[in-house]
Amino acid sequence: MMRKQRTPPAIGAEIAETAPLATDGSEISALEAEAAERRRSRRLDAYGTFVAIEAPSVSEDFCWSSKLIDINGDGMALTLPPELTPGVELFLTFGLDKEAHLNRVPAVVRRQEEGTGAVRFEAWPEVDRLKLLRYLLGD
């Protein structure tokens, strides 16, 4: 059964006119800015992909196994246990394909509702961010 996907609104012209920044705060090239704009408007259904979640502030000794619902370049929607409330910092490990296996991606819980939620990726290594962008853009 196909799931409907929500597409976030495209980036407005007023945002596109400003100098884009990389996750580390440095300016990025026009090509990277174009890719960033395309990825934000593209959210891929990845239902059922397993995600390992570490939340050191909640438990040093325990990890959760979750299922990915969808993903874009800024974050993902996934099943979340009730202990992981908005604001909790996480590390996520997941594999989207052979080329896009990501380990300990820093993220923060943004939303938690009845067993599902959303997380936003935080500053993470450029090489991992590029793996995700290539996967999202189908390159």
For residue 125, what are the CA distances in angstroms to 67, 105, 117, 122? 23, 8, 24, 10
Here the tokens at position 89 are: 């910092």
pLDDT in tens, 51-96: 999 999 998 887 898 999 888 888 999 999 988 999 999 999 999 8
Among 6-15, 53-62, 95-104, 115-124, the least confident range: 6-15
Q: Measuring CA to CA, which residue among 65, 57, 59, 64 is closest to residue 86?
A: 57
pLDDT in tens, 29-61: 666 666 655 545 455 556 568 999 999 999 888
Residue ranges of domains in the chain, CATH in brackets: 44-137 (2.40.10.220)
The torsion defined by the Cα of 102, 107, 63 and 95, in degrees rounded to 10, comes to -20
**Strand ranges for 1-139 from DSSP E:** 44-45, 50-54, 63-71, 75-79, 89-95, 101-113, 116-121
* Residue labelled with tokens 């990277």: 32
